[in-house]
Amino acid sequence: MLIKLLKHDLISMGRLLAPIMLAMLALSAVIGFNVRTQYKLENVGTITVILFAILFALIFLAFFLTFILTIFRFRQNLLGNQGYLSLALPVSTAEHIAGKFLASMIWTCVNGIVAVISFWLIYTVGIPAAGRQLGAVFFKRLFPDFDPYAYLTLENFLLLVTSMSEGVLHMYLAIAIGHLWQKHAILGAILGYVLLSIARSQLFTRLLQPMSLQMPFATFSIISALVFSAIYAVCTWLILDRHLNLE
C-alpha cells in the first residue's frame, strides 16, 4: 500500500513540478544555442542575460514549490479537510508519513538533477569543444588544488540525503505539534519548529558533540542527522497515531 500512496503523492506533486522542470530544460537548450552564436561573435547580448535570469527564477521556483508542497500536502492530507478520508484507508499512520516523506525527498532530488542537467546543456551546447578545453586549462591554473570530483563521494551523497531527511521530518513534527493547538495551528507549528531547533541545539551540544572528536566530521554529521531524523519521525508518528483530533 505504501507504493500506491507514494505513486499518488509523486503524481500529485508532479502535476505542478514537471512543467517547470521541462521549461528549465527547454530554456537551457535555447540559452545554449544563443550562447554558441554569441560565442563566435565574442559578445554576450542582453537576451542571454535575461534568459539566464529566467532560468535561475525557474530553478528557485521549483525548489520553493517543492518546499511549499511538502508542507501543504502533509498538513492538508493528514491534518486538514482530507484527513478523514486519508486516515479511513486501510493504511498505517507510519505508511502515510513515509509516503509523504519519500515523495518530497524524490522530487527534491529530481530538482537538483534537472538543475545540473540544465547547466550541463548550456555548457555542452553553448561552448565549442576547443573553448571547453581552454576553460578547463584556465580554471586549473587559477585553482590548482581544487578537484571537483573529490566531492562526488558516497559519504557526501549520504550527508546531503540525511540532512535533507532531517529537515523534512523536522517540519513534519512541527506541523504535528501545531495541530495539537487547533485554534492556532500555524502559530503552534512555528513555535514548535523554533523550540525543536533549540532542543536539537542543546542535545547536540551536550550529548553528540563530544563524539565528533572520535570520528570524521562527515561521518559524525551523517550519524547525528540519522539520530534526529529518527526522533522526529517517531514523535510525529506518536502524535498522529495516538493524539490526532480532526474535529
Mean pLDDT of residues grouped by 10 in the chain (247 residues)? Answer: 85 92 92 73 68 92 93 83 67 87 93 90 71 51 56 77 93 89 83 90 73 73 89 91 67
User: Would you state the pLDDT for residue 130?
Assistant: 45
Q: How many domains does the chain have?
A: 2
Phi and psi torsions of 90, nearest 5°: -75, 60
Do 23 and 102 lie in one domain? The reply is: yes
> What is the rounded CA–CA span in Å between residue 11 and residue 6?
9
State residue 52's pLDDT score.
87
pLDDT on residue 4: 84
Report yes or no: 135 and 123 within 8 Å, Cβ to Cβ. Answer: no
What distance in Å separates the CA atoms of residue 100 and residue 84, rounded to the nearest whole number? Answer: 16
Residue 231 is predicted with a pLDDT of 92
**Which set of grid coordinates corresponds to residue 117?**
542537467
Quick one: 136 and 37 in the same domain?
yes
Distance, CA of 69 to CA of 11 (rounded, Å): 12
Q: What's the pLDDT score for residue 137?
A: 47
Quick one: pLDDT at residue 223?
Answer: 86
The C-alpha cell that represents 114 in the structure block: 534537472
Domain shared by 138 and 197, yes or no: no
Could you list the residue range(s) of the whole structural domain that residue 164 is in? 147-247
Q: What is the pLDDT of residue 78?
A: 81
Among 145, 174, 203, identify where a domain stops. 145
Residue where one domain finishes, among candidates 145, 165, 191:
145
